[in-house]
Amino acid sequence: MGPAVEKAKRSAPNAVERLNGLLAEDMAAVDAIIHQHMTSPVGVIPNLAAHLIDAGGKRIRPMITLASARLLGGGGDGARKLAAAVEFIHSATLLHDDVVDVSSMRRGKKSANTIWGNSSSVLVGDFLFARSFNLMVETGDIMVLDILARAASVIAEGEVMQLAAANDAETTRERYMAIVGAKTAALFAAAAKAGAVAAGRPGAEATALESYGRELGLAFQLVDDALDYGGASATMGKNTGDDFKEGKVTLPVVFARDDGDESERAFWRRVVGEERTDDDFHRALALLKRHNAIERTLEAAREHASAAKTALRTLPTNAYNEALTEIADFVVERGY
Amino acid sequence: MGPAVEKAKRSAPNAVERLNGLLAEDMAAVDAIIHQHMTSPVGVIPNLAAHLIDAGGKRIRPMITLASARLLGGGGDGARKLAAAVEFIHSATLLHDDVVDVSSMRRGKKSANTIWGNSSSVLVGDFLFARSFNLMVETGDIMVLDILARAASVIAEGEVMQLAAANDAETTRERYMAIVGAKTAALFAAAAKAGAVAAGRPGAEATALESYGRELGLAFQLVDDALDYGGASATMGKNTGDDFKEGKVTLPVVFARDDGDESERAFWRRVVGEERTDDDFHRALALLKRHNAIERTLEAAREHASAAKTALRTLPTNAYNEALTEIADFVVERGY
A-chain residues near B43 (CB < 8 A): 164
CB atoms B161 and A126 under 8 Å: no
Low-confidence ranges of chain B (pLDDT < 70): 1-13
Q: Tell me, what's the pLDDT at A251?
A: 98
DSSP annotation string for A21-67: HHTHHHHHHHHHHHHHHT--SSTHHHHHHHHHHTS----HHHHHHHH
A-chain residues near B136 (CB < 8 A): 149
Superfamily of domain A10-333: Farnesyl Diphosphate Synthase (1.10.600.10)
Q: Tell me, what's the pLDDT at B238?
A: 73
Q: Options 3.20.20.80, 3.40.50.720, 1.10.10.10, 1.10.600.10; which CATH number does B12-333 get?
A: 1.10.600.10
Closest Cβ opposite residue B130 in set A125, A142, A152: A152
B-chain residues near A41 (CB < 8 A): 157
A-chain residues near B44 (CB < 8 A): 160, 163-164
Global ipTM = 0.94
Q: Tell me, what's the pLDDT at A239?
A: 78
Q: Does the pLDDT of residue A229 top 80, yes or no?
A: yes
A-chain residues near B142 (CB < 8 A): 137, 140, 142, 145
CA-nearest of A80, A67, A70, A66 to A37 is: A80
Closest Cβ opposite residue A160 in set B92, B124, B131: B124
Q: Tell me, what's the pLDDT at A125?
A: 98
Q: Where are the domains of chain A?
A: 10-333
- pLDDT digits over B123-142, tens only? 999 999 999 999 999 999 99
CB atoms B99 and A120 under 8 Å: no
Closest Cβ opposite residue B126 in set A45, A96, A150: A96
- Give the confidence band of A108 by pLDDT, cuts at 50, 70, 90: confident
Closest Cβ opposite residue B160 in set A96, A124, A129: A124
Which of A98, A99, A129, A155 to mutate to probe the B interface, most B CBs <10 Å?
Answer: A129
What are the backbone angles phi and psi of residue A105, rounded to the nearest 5°?
Answer: -130, 150
Closest Cβ opposite residue A161 in set B42, B133, B161: B42
Q: Does the pLDDT of residue A143 top 90, yes or no?
A: yes
Q: Which residue of B has its CA nearest to A125?
A: B156
Q: Which residue of A has its CA nearest to B182?
A: A42
Summary mean pLDDT of chain A: 94
Burial zone of B56 (CB within 10 Å; 0-12 exposed, 13-18 middle, 19+ buried): exposed
Q: Tell me, what's the pLDDT at A235?
A: 86
| Average pLDDT estimate for A99-115 | 92
- pLDDT digits over A64-100, tens only? 999 999 999 999 999 999 999 999 999 999 999 999 9
For residue A336, how many other CB atoms are within 10 A of its CB? 14
A-chain residues near B99 (CB < 8 A): 118-119, 122
What are the backbone angles phi and psi of residue B109, rounded to the nearest 5°?
Answer: -125, 165
B-chain residues near A90 (CB < 8 A): none
CB atoms A42 and B137 under 8 Å: no
Q: Tell me, what's the pLDDT at A6?
A: 53
Q: Tell me, what's the pLDDT at B1?
A: 43
Q: How big, in percent rounded to 5, are the helix, strand and coil portions of chain A?
A: 75, 0, 25
Q: Tell me, what's the pLDDT at B6?
A: 53
CB atoms B137 and A146 under 8 Å: yes
CB atoms B130 and A124 under 8 Å: no
Burial zone of B154 (CB within 10 Å; 0-12 exposed, 13-18 middle, 19+ buried): buried
- Distance from A101 to chain B by nearest Cα, in Å? 8
Q: Does the pLDDT of residue A305 top 70, yes or no?
A: yes
B-chain residues near A127 (CB < 8 A): 153, 156-157, 160
Which of A126, A127, A139 to mutate to probe the B interface, most B CBs <10 Å?
Answer: A126
CB atoms B40 and A157 under 8 Å: yes
